[in-house]
Amino acid sequence: MHRRLGTALATSTVALVTVVATASASSAAPADKPQVLSSWTQTSASSYSAWAAARANQGAWSAYGFDWSTDYCSSSPDNPFGFPFNVSCARHDFGYRNYKAAGTFSANKSRLDSAFYEDLKRVCNGYGGATKTACDSTAWTYYQAVRAFG
Active site residues: 92
pLDDT in tens, 82-109: 999 999 999 999 999 999 999 999 999 9
pLDDT in tens, 39-56: 999 999 999 999 999 999
- Residue 25 confidence (pLDDT): 42
CATH architecture entry for 31-149: Up-down Bundle (1.20)
- Residue 27 confidence (pLDDT): 54
Report the Cα–Cα distance between both ends of the chain, in Å, rounded. Answer: 70
Q: Taking the model in full, what pTM does it have?
A: 0.81
Report the Cα 20 to chain-centroid distance in Å. 30
Residues 6+ apart with CB under 8 A from 96: 105, 109, 112, 150
Q: Which amino acid is at 64?
A: Y
Domain-wise residue ranges, the chain: 1-30, 31-149
pLDDT band at 22 (very low <50, low <70, confident <90, very high): very low
- Tell which residue, 142, 31, 140, 130, has the closest CA to residue 86: 142
pLDDT band at 17 (very low <50, low <70, confident <90, very high): very low
- Residue 78 confidence (pLDDT): 86
User: In this structure, is the dihedral angle defined by the CA atoms of residues 55, 58, 62 and 68, taken in order, positive or negative?
Assistant: positive
Burial of 58 (0-12, 13-18, 19+ CB in 10 A): exposed
